[in-house]
Structure 1
């Protein structure tokens, strides 16, 4: 007995007929269905996935496999074979795109929060900076310069000593006195409020 290949369908009704035969396990009807749907499915997947041809080919392969393995779920009363196939393609594409998005476990959600201070903390920090700047302005020039170079620019005591033409021990003294004066000024200001 010679088996004749099934010609590709010419009309949507032919697709429904092929699908009925696929539901009965007819491999030749499935091959004809693949030939009829493969090209349009590939174009749809390619466009949906933004031109990722390899991903589109994977999606079409899975969709065609589902047509075969889930053939018994097809109901002609609910729509056409082409519509069902396109829905499978689009759903697979959306699943693939969702899978690309990084998923964050709820316990890791704190990592997504902004690290910027809340408005109250920002206001307090701004106020503190303003008070410190005002107190710094009241220091003598050498103390202010030493504090700025050490804390502001990160210079070592030896580097500051070189810039100020003094010794590292003298810089240490300047820094100590400057910190003590700043602390006193800020405490007095806080008490006066």
Structure 2
């Protein structure tokens, strides 16, 4: 197993593990932070922590991916606390539309930007929970582990996030249903 080699200080094992973990971690971090540069920094911080704490990993308790996801989420939460607020429209997700014409494409991009902005306005833990659930397809147990909480608490985070998003996106309701 790579983690036991990493815990023993094997640089090659760490590089191999990094190749497996980096892309999914970056995707999660970008969804939580909404900014590629900040997401890259958070993942780098998480990788350093993985290297330093590899000996603590217990394969009986979690998969490496789940354990690392928790480290990434914690790094994102720490970075978010340290960041100044940014304009979420400027830092919105990569917006692509399959709309047939330029007007429809522009309308779709603006709608997606408003949705992205609404998600970015959620409190960090709610945003992390909703990102992991809908963006990464994580289970309640995986999210609970990543956020160091219980599945019941994750349900509450998701419920509050959904309610907040519904309120924020009420003006877009007709547009979203179209």
TM-score where L is the length of structure 1: 0.42
CA radius of gyration, larger in? 1
Q: Larger relative CO (CA 8 A, sep 6+): 1 or 2?
A: 2
TM-score where L is the length of structure 2: 0.46
